[in-house]
């Protein structure tokens, strides 16, 4: 158990389980097909584009300095996967299942994770501005030091989800229960949120003015 910002939360997130050695992927990237499997691979310095497949399975893989562009991989399953310094901006990963997966120093601007399930997943020092997590479910997930301006969590389910030192200005949290969610060390001027979802949300004193409008109050200077 870890104490942060006045709240006590369960921060135990199981990391990816990686073998001691991975087979380096060399040569050209072959087009993915539905239900393809990628297992125990090191995928470094690749540019991957124009992929379209459903229910691809990726297990015990490390993606490093890799860009994925103009790609739709619906229903992708990631288990024990690390993305390090990768760019997946505007990639469609809807209906994904991610388990023991980490994104480190990644660019995920506008990436579409809608209707996905995240379990034991960590995002560290990533840029996820305008990323979509609509209708997703989170269990044991952490966003650490991320820029998430305008990110969309509309009607998502949060279970042991943490935001630590993140920029979440204008993020959409409407329809998501924020009880126990600690936003006190995050940066934002305003959020899209419904007043009934704020009960039990943890914020700092300096952030209270951001929610005054929801209560219909006017602060007299």
Average pLDDT along the chain: 91
Report angle CA 184, 14, 119 to the nearest 5 degrees.
Answer: 75
Q: What is the pLDDT of residue 7?
A: 38
Chain segment 116-134, per-residue pLDDT in tens: 999 999 999 999 999 999 9
Q: How confident is the model at residue 103 (pLDDT cuts 50, 70, 90)?
A: very high
Dihedral pair phi/psi, residue 23, rounded to 5°:
-80, 120
Q: Can you say whether residue 132 is alpha, beta or left, with left for phi > 0 and alpha for psi between -120 and 50 degrees?
A: beta
Is pLDDT above 90 for 99? yes
Q: Judge if pTM exceeds 0.85.
A: yes
The domains located in the chain, with CATH, are 34-201 (2.160.20.80)
Is pLDDT above 80 for 10? no
């Amino acid at each position: 158990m870890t104490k942060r910002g006045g709240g006590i939360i369960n921060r135990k997130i199981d990391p990816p389980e990686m073998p001691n050695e991975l087979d380096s992927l060399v040569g050209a990237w072959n087009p993915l097909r539905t239900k393809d499997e990628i297992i125990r691979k090191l995928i470094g310095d690749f540019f991957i584009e124009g992929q379209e497949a459903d229910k691809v399975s990726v297990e015990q893989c490390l993606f490093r300095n890799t860009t994925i562009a103009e790609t739709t991989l619906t229903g992708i399953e990631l288990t024990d996967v690390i993305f390090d310094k990768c760019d997946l901006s505007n990639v469609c990963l809807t209906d994904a299942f991610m388990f023991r997966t980490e994104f480190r120093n990644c660019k995920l601007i506008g990436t579409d994770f809608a209707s996905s399930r995240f379990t034991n997943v960590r995002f560290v020092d990533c840029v996820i501005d305008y990323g979509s997590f609509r209708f997703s479910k989170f269990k044991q997930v952490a966003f650490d030091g991320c820029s998430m301006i305008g990110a969309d969590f509309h009607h998502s389910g949060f279970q042991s989800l943490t935001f630590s030192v993140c920029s979440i200005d204008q993020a959409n949290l409407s329809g998501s229960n924020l009880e126990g969610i600690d936003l006190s060390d995050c940066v934002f001027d305003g959020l899209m949120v419904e007043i009934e979802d704020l009960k039990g949300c943890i914020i700092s004193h300096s952030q209270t003015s951001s929610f005054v409008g929801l209560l219909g109050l006017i602060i007299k200077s």
